[in-house]
């Protein structure tokens, strides 16, 4: 069996994984870093981000306190005020660093950042690259990372499980599956999980196919605290094209630009729920749309941008306009059908203010982590920001606490793996699960059938761990489904007092 060694293993090549690697290698070129990613380097949610990054840059019209209050209000009062303040205050520095590494964002005629307005923000503060901010972020970060020869990127390598060892357990790396179907361990004293979200639990999602919650599922299997899995955010305005998976997003910035949400009777019905109408936070807008759909029996509502200047619309949203046109809905001429779709996992693997999980040796950052930033509902464009800040915090912690003292032991025996179930069954069951989870969230299915399906499937996988990615993803989706349902049935949100307790345990275990 092949065994690979590194100082640091990073799982995931989105904004969290890449910015973490760049920061570490810029400050300590001696480090040997292995980055595993299950697809191509740039494939992940980061690349599809549209709206942008929320940062207070306009000190005349905006201030940190306002961004902090908007974030706390969106969170339903569940975000951790200390974490929110830390992230918001660091935002300008992290953004400038991103620009230093090669990212370009739109400027206005005065050469100042062009700031967009999005739902839940009191003022325009979203830095963007037209409507494809994520593409620019992914392009610049992957180019910057690839300049470091010390970074070995293993693309199309799937992280199966964490390598946990010792009487007082530590994380010492992870098991990977090579594109040839061979499992092998990467042994490293420090591992970062940066595996993104789990939108693929649902039949309608804006998340790419890779978003199957693999890091969170691996953490659950390793008994590492994972919080608030049920706080899944649905984006209100994904293009409604039945059967299309993933769903194309119509960015929230469109509504900030003046587009309306209307029903089949052309009414702007959102004002009945919230005086901010289209500019309420996305949980409120989504619930109002669901209510409208259930009352009217319709499958979709519409984004109406016909009253806006068509040239300005095309200039600001070239990607959205082009995609909608291709799908047969020119937004400058017709209403575009939209419906809510699963978008973002607000909960995840517990981390403290340094990105440390409770398991020594293991950090988490980005969408797979629960840092205390989002509470029940994330404010628009706070996710890329949170990922940058926590990747930075984790890197800084590692650089100031050299971890490379003890070499983790080599796992005694490889995982028992064999060829999986025929992919056709795997795909069928994944679709079934996605539909059930969607129905569960819409309140038209109780949990019994989901628990039965996921438990049976997991039992199969316990007997025969497959060595194909589709089956391993299904295994993770089943773990996630059970976790989401367990949290949803209790309905509770992890409080900040309980986070403080976990922070104390984390401190104790790491020392």
Q: Which two tokens stand for residue 19?
A: 């910015």
Q: Kindly state whether residue 207 participates in binding ligand FAD, applying the rule CB under 6 A.
A: yes
What is the C-alpha to C-alpha distance for residues 134 and 142, in angstroms, rounded to an integer? 12
26 catalytic residue (yes or no): no
- Applying CB under 6 A, which of residues 251, 371, 377, 438 lies at the interface with ligand SIN? 251
Edge-first strand order for the sheet with 336-345 is 232-239, 336-345, 301-304, 260-262
Q: What angle do CA 162, 167, 169 make, to 5 degrees?
A: 35
Q: Name residues whose C-beta falls within 8 Å of residue 196's C-beta, 6 or more positions apart in sequence.
A: 12, 14, 44, 45, 46, 207, 210, 211, 215, 366, 367, 368
Q: Which of 169, 224, 283 is nearest to 479 (CA)?
A: 224
Lay out the site mask for ligand FAD across 105-134 (x = CB under 6 A, - = otherwise).
Answer: ----------------------------xx
Q: Does position 380 bind ligand SIN by CB under 6 A?
A: yes
The reply on whether position 39 binds ligand FAD by CB under 6 A is yes
The CB-side HSE value for 400 (13 A sphere, CA atoms) comes to 6
Evaluate whether 220 touches 37 at the Cβ level (below 8 Å). no
Q: Binding of ligand SIN at residue 50 (CB under 6 A)?
A: yes
Report how far residue 83's alpha carbon sits from residue 60's, in angstroms, rounded to the nearest whole number.
Answer: 24
The candidate with the shortest Cα–Cα distance to 304, out of 324, 322, 325, 331, is 331
Letters for 17-36 (x = contact with ligand FAD by CB under 6 A, - = none) are x------------------x
- Return the ∠ at Cα 91 (arms to 395 and 215), rounded to 5°: 45
Q: Using the minimum distance from each CB to ligand FAD, give the nearer residue, 78 or 105.
A: 105
Minimum Å distance from CB 478 to ligand SIN?
Answer: 26
Q: E strands within 128-270? A: 151-155, 158-165, 170-177, 183-187, 190-193, 226-227, 232-239, 260-262
- Say which entry of ligand FAD, ligand SIN, none residue 36 contacts (CB below 5 to 8 A, set by partner kind): ligand FAD
- Output 248 or 461, the one with its CB closest to ligand SIN: 248
Complex with ligand SIN: residue 251 or 286, whichever CB lies closer? 251
Pairwise CA distance, residues 231 & 242, whole Å:
25
* Minimum distance, C-beta of residue 45 to ligand FAD, in the bound complex (Å): 3
Q: Which of 47, 125, 170, 282 is catalytic?
A: 282
Query: Is 373 strand, coil or helix?
Result: coil
Q: Does 158 bind ligand FAD (CB under 6 A)?
A: yes
CB of 504 to ligand SIN, least distance (A): 32
The interface with ligand SIN within residues 184-213 (CB under 6 A) comprises none
Q: Among residue numbers 46 through 65, which ones bind ligand FAD (CB under 6 A)?
A: 46, 48-53
Size of the site for ligand FAD (CB under 6 A): 42
Site string for ligand SIN, 253-282 (x = CB under 6 A): x-----------------------------
Catalytic residues: 282
Q: Give me the residues that bind ligand SIN (CB under 6 A), please.
A: 50-51, 251-253, 380-381, 383
Q: Give me the residues that bind ligand FAD (CB under 6 A), please.
A: 11-17, 36-39, 43-46, 48-53, 133-134, 158-159, 194-197, 206-207, 210, 214, 249, 344, 366-367, 381-384, 387
């Amino acid at each position: 069996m092949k065994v690979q060694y590194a100082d640091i293993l990073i799982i995931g090549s989105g904004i969290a994984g890449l910015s973490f690697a760049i920061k570490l290698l810029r400050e300590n070129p001696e480090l040997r870093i292995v980055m595993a990613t299950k697809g191509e380097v740039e494939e992940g949610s980061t690349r599809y981000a549209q709206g942008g990054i929320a940062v207070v840059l306009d000190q005349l019209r905006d201030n940190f306190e306002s961004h902090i209050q908007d974030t706390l209000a969106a969170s339903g009062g569940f975000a951790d005020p200390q974490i929110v303040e830390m992230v918001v205050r660091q935002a300008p520095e992290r953004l400038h660093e991103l620009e230093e590494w090669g990212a370009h964002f739109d400027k206005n005629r005065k050469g100042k950042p062009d700031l967009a307005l999005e739902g839940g923000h009191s003022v325009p503060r979203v830095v963007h690259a037209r409507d494809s901010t994520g593409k620019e972020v992914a392009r610049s970060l992957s180019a910057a990372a690839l300049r470091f020869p010390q970074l070995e990127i293993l693309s199309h390598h799937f992280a199966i499980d964490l390598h946990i060892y010792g009487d007082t357990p530590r994380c010492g790396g992870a098991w990977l599956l090579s594109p040839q179907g061979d499992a092998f361990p990467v042994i490293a004293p420090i591992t970062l999980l940066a595996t993104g979200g789990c939108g693929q639990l649902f039949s309608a999602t804006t998340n790419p196919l890779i978003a199957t919650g693999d890091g969170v599922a691996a953490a659950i299997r390793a008994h590492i605290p994972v919080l608030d899995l049920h706080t899944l955010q649905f984006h209100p305005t994904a293009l409604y094209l039945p059967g299309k998976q993933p769903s194309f997003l119509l960015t929230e910035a469109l509504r900030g630009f003046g587009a309306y949400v209307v029903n089949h009777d052309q009414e702007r019905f959102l004002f009945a729920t919230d005086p901010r109408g289209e500019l309420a936070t996305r949980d409120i807008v989504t619930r109002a749309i669901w209510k409208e759909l259930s009352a009217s029996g319709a499958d979709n509502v519409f984004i109406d941008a016909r009253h806006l200047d068509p040239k300005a619309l095309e200039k600001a949203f070239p990607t959205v306009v082009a995609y909608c046109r291709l799908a047969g809905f020119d937004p400058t001429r017709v209403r575009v059908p939209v419906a809510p779709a699963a978008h973002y996992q607000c909960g995840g693997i517990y981390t403290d203010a340094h990105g440390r999980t409770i398991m020594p040796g293991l950090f988490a950052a980005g969408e797979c982590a629960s840092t205390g930033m989002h509470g029940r509902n994330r404010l628009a464009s706070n996710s890329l920001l949170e990922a940058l800040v926590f990747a930075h915090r984790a890197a800084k912690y590692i650089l100031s606490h050299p971890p490379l003292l003890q070499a983790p032991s080599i796992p005694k025996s490889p995982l028992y793996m064999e060829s999986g179930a025929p992919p056709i069954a795997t795909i069928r069951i994944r679709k079934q699960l996605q539909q059930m989870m969607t129905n569960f969230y819409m309140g038209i299915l109780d949990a019994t059938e989901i628990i039965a399906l996921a438990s049976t499937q997991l039992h199969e996988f316990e007997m025969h761990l497959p060595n194909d990615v589709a089956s391993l993803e299904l295994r993770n989706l089943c773990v996630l489904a059970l976790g989401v349902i367990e949290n949803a049935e209790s309905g509770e949100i992890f409080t900040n007092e309980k986070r403080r307790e976990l922070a104390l345990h984390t401190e104790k275990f790491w020392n």
